[in-house]
Structure 1
Amino acid sequence: MNADDALKKIQDENITFVNLWFVDIFGELHRLGMPSYAIDKSSFENGLEKLDASSIVGFKSVNNSDMILKPDPNSFRVLPSDYDQGNRKNAIFFCDLYEGNTTQEVRYNRDSRGIAHKAAEKLKEFGLTHTNWGPEIEFFVFDTINVYPSPYGATQSSGGSGYSIESKESPWAKGNVSTAINLKEGYYPSQPKDTLETFRKDICDDLYNHFGIKIEAEHHEVATSGQCEINLVYDEMVAMADSVVAVKNIVKVKAKRKNKVATFMPKPIFGDNASAMHTHQSLWNDKVNVMFDPEDDVAQMSQIGRYYIGGILEHASALCAITNPTTNSYKRLVPGFEAPVNVCWGMGNRSAAIRVPMYYRNQEKSKRIEYRVPDPTANIYLLEAALLLAGLDGIKKKIDPGDPVEENVYKLSPEKKREYKIGSLPVSLKGALDSLQSDSAFLEEVFTKDFLDKYSQLKYKEYTAFAQTPTAWEVSMYADA
């Protein structure tokens, strides 16, 4: 779709407002709204000088803050009717960000979408045309989350804080015998225990009917209190990243409309499973899946596919700074909750960092890897770009991932892990950031040093604030020490 096509769409669909969407360096969605009559062909060709980048976290300083938003006409989508409570008909465009203080057209180096575009261009150097991506997006939908004394007070006050979670499905709620789900017993329940089936279906309908986003499946996940999963049908790199941003926003908006709260925080409930964003990926040269080798009697995985796995495993610790970017992420990456903590690969092995799904043997289109480490707090553009670059580095350097591990890695002794050369993922955000500091060369042709420095600086600051804040658990444990 070009600019003329997009303008015609706006007219044909009777759009009254256009929302321009972009994300900051952590993947947080931002928007600018404009009446449809204010958009013309120049808006697409020359962009819109509407952004004060100094007001966006991680972007620019106040003395160099002009930035241009350039809508991508291919990303035109009509928002669901209940999105705007004023009954206006809205559309969205995802935007690419360009420098404003220059006479040349220069893509902003901290534009996450631009980083994903740039990473995709690297495929040409390897004789590849595109990649396909299929994330499994997990999240919780609660009735309420109460933070005491307030969300601000919990991070800023010296007087202590706490929180409580309310859900009709929780085993601690009163009077919910028919809907109670115990810890770790929420996988595929039916109604009435699954109180969110209609909610998920409504979201899936909106995603397909308005965004053209195809859904593979939706279901309740393992945890209690409304853990949900929506699986997206595979798509190419940037298109899929746009879709994930849309999914997360629509989930939050729909939950708010129903007086509930949706959260993509990985581990909100102690003792229960956490939310992941398992990411399926495959490499293609036109219509040929280069990961597929029908002659391989182990995983039907080609040598290129194995090298790609090797690259991701080689850089797994550094990747965690991007794939698991919050302090809460590392409360998920612990044994016993179906989350990987071990750097290895296998087939059908959910205790490994990389799984090669074996549902469909002898089917080229389905051959892929599933990276099980990421969680939904990751910036999807950076996540895809970083995984791709790590995998391509594996192909370039012919990094052998070793043999697949089919044992339960959680139960292996330290001696066995050393024998199998199984490493461990970082146990904290600081550990992941430290790994990124020492292992970032594979990213630097796409992620500039400026970007990585700013990203790490803000994330180290986040970790330091967390590390210095007493928690209710610590007060309970140590107040009378």
Structure 2
Amino acid sequence: MQHLTTWVGDETAPKSEIMQLVKKEGVKFAQMQFMDILGTVKNVTIPTTKLEKALDEGVFFDGSSVLGYATIEESDMRLKPDLNTFVVLPWLQDNMKTARIVCDVYDHEDNRFDGDPRATLQRLMGRVRKKGWMFNTAPEYEFFFFIPDERGDPTTKPSDYGGYFDLMRDRGDNVRKEIVTHLNAMGFDVEASHHEVAPGQHEIDLAYADAITSAD
């Protein structure tokens, strides 16, 4: 990933660098993100006045309320932030300016939680490295744009009737470019974007990276 002013991607990124960036950028909130066993992104948001403590000690949460995580008796779990995933979200500004950090999940005995999908992928990556291999992935994100009705509710009417690689000068094309702009600002290495085969279908391609970086 690119190392931009809103991205701390150095493998040895110290806490002080993050706190300096928070102050410089005027970041007000930090989203501490992790994932459940179904791949749903979970999040707890803290004010950046509590961020330094969270970077040192982590954030405790009730794991019994997260699908597949823990029982009531073993519900005390902790999120430990991976400092190298800190990034400022470019679409939130002023008093809502927010950063996100991907976290590792630890159980009530402070052991890495086996049910954390990120931990599973990291273990697999370790096995791959021991064999002398590299495991890289290059995501291709495909999605559709639909036209809302007169009340603003979603419909199934596509935003255009273009085809593969068609040049569509419409709102869908502009929104796709806006998404790419935000991805670049966050340090993602966007290879290309284009209209896909179906009406209203678009695709954004990222450059390959190791599987953990791609998944984060």
Assess same fold via TM > 0.5.
Answer: yes
1:124 alignment partner, SS class: helix
The 1-side partners of 2:106 and 2:64 are apart by 14
Structure 1 partner of 2:98 = 90
Quick one: which of 108, 114, 118 aligns to 1:109?
A: 114
Structure 2 partner of 1:166 = 157
Please report how far the alpha carbon of residue 76 of structure 1 lies from its aligned counterpart in structure 2 after TM superposition: 0.7
Structure 2 partner of 1:221 = 196
The 2-side partners of 1:39 and 1:164 are apart by 41
8 Å CA contact 2:137–2:214 kept in 1: the answer is yes
2:20 alignment partner, SS class: helix
Residue 24 (1) aligns with residue 24 (2):
no
Quick one: which of 138, 144, 154 aligns to 2:142?
A: 138
8 Å CA contact 1:144–1:167 kept in 2: the answer is no
1:201 alignment partner, SS class: helix
Structure 1 partner of 2:54 = 43
Q: 1:74 is matched by which residue type in structure 2? A: N
Which protein has the bigger strand share? 2
8 Å CA contact 2:147–2:155 kept in 1: the answer is no
**Looking at both structures, which has the greater relative contact order when contacts are Cα pairs under 8 Å and sequence separation is at least 6?**
2
Runs of 5+ unmatched residues, structure 2: 1-12
The 2-side partners of 1:9 and 1:121 are apart by 31
TM-score with structure 1 setting the length: 0.39
Please report how far the alpha carbon of residue 201 of structure 1 lies from its aligned counterpart in structure 2 after TM superposition: 0.5
Q: How does 1:367-446 map to 2 (within 5 A)?
A: none
Please report how far the alpha carbon of residue 231 of structure 1 lies from its aligned counterpart in structure 2 after TM superposition: 0.2
The 2-side partners of 1:70 and 1:88 are apart by 24
Question: Aligned residues: percent identity?
Answer: 32
1:39 alignment partner, SS class: helix
Please report how far the alpha carbon of residue 200 of structure 1 lies from its aligned counterpart in structure 2 after TM superposition: 0.6
Structure 1 partner of 2:9 = none
The 1-side partners of 2:182 and 2:148 are apart by 24
Structure 2 partner of 1:196 = 172
The 2-side partners of 1:35 and 1:195 are apart by 35
Residue 187 (1) aligns with residue 164 (2):
yes
Q: How many residues are matched?
A: 200
The 2-side partners of 1:231 and 1:35 are apart by 33
1:165 alignment partner, SS class: coil
8 Å CA contact 2:28–2:95 kept in 1: the answer is no
Structure 1 partner of 2:7 = none
Q: 1:33 is matched by which residue type in structure 2? A: T
The 2-side partners of 1:56 and 1:48 are apart by 15
8 Å CA contact 1:98–1:106 kept in 2: the answer is yes
8 Å CA contact 1:97–1:111 kept in 2: the answer is yes
The 2-side partners of 1:78 and 1:190 are apart by 32
The 1-side partners of 2:43 and 2:80 are apart by 13
Residues 212 and 75 of structure 1, relative CA distance in 2, 3 Å threshold: same
Quick one: which of 45, 54, 69 aligns to 1:33?
A: 45
- The superposition leaves residues 428-460 of structure 1 with CA deviations (integer Å, 9 ceiling, x where unpaired) of xxxxxxxxxxxxxxxxxxxxxxxxxxxxxxxxx
The 2-side partners of 1:164 and 1:89 are apart by 31
The 2-side partners of 1:28 and 1:201 are apart by 26
The 2-side partners of 1:57 and 1:228 are apart by 32
Structure 2 partner of 1:346 = none
Which protein has the bigger helix share? 1
Residues 124 and 164 of structure 1, relative CA distance in 2, 3 Å threshold: closer
8 Å CA contact 2:144–2:158 kept in 1: the answer is no
| 1-10 or 17-26, larger mean C-alpha shift | 1-10
Runs ≥4 residues deviating over 4 A: none
Residues 8 and 195 of structure 1, relative CA distance in 2, 3 Å threshold: closer
- The superposition leaves residues 156-185 of structure 1 with CA deviations (integer Å, 9 ceiling, x where unpaired) of xxxxxxx9612342xxxxxxxxxxx2xxx6
TM-score with structure 2 setting the length: 0.84
8 Å CA contact 1:138–1:228 kept in 2: the answer is yes
Structure 2 partner of 1:413 = none
The 2-side partners of 1:55 and 1:140 are apart by 32
Structure 1 partner of 2:5 = none
| 115-124 or 227-236, larger mean C-alpha shift | 115-124
The 1-side partners of 2:209 and 2:111 are apart by 27
Residues 168 and 12 of structure 1, relative CA distance in 2, 3 Å threshold: closer
Residues 134 and 52 of structure 1, relative CA distance in 2, 3 Å threshold: same
Residue 233 (1) aligns with residue 207 (2):
yes
- The superposition leaves residues 189-230 of structure 1 with CA deviations (integer Å, 9 ceiling, x where unpaired) of 2224x5411101100001111x10011000111011x11100
Residue 208 (1) aligns with residue 184 (2):
yes
8 Å CA contact 2:15–2:83 kept in 1: the answer is yes
2:167 alignment partner, SS class: coil
Q: 2:76 is matched by which residue type in structure 1? A: D
8 Å CA contact 2:164–2:195 kept in 1: the answer is yes
Please report how far the alpha carbon of residue 241 of structure 1 lies from its aligned counterpart in structure 2 after TM superposition: 0.6
The 2-side partners of 1:198 and 1:74 are apart by 31
